[in-house]
Amino acid sequence: MPRKPNYGFERRERDRLKAEKKAEREKAKAEKREANRAAGLPPDADDKADEGAGGVPPVEPPATGLAPEPTAKD
């Protein structure tokens, strides 16, 4: 006989694991930041690379060579 699902518990367990994982990542970032400060590097040297997907910095769109459209001022 299959077990009766306990959706609330399963959801709480997933959320707990997710929060634990996030706390570990935050702790690692804080340690890295402290190591950078001790080495005399700028405070946001590595933080910018972490903002993109998968640690890849965001890509800027290519320039079209056209002048931007003027905006109407009131």
- Provide the residue ranges of all domains of the chain, joining segments of one domain with +: 1-42
Residue 46: CB partners within 8 Å, gap ≥ 6? Answer: 32, 33, 36
Q: Which of 58, 59, 32 is nearest to 46 (CA)?
A: 32
pLDDT at 6: 94
Give the DSSP H or E segment for 65: none
Q: What's the pLDDT at 48?
A: 55
Average pLDDT over residues 6-12: 96
Whether the per-residue pLDDT at 34 is higher than 70: the answer is yes
Under the banding of pLDDT at 50, 70 and 90, the label for residue 44 is: low
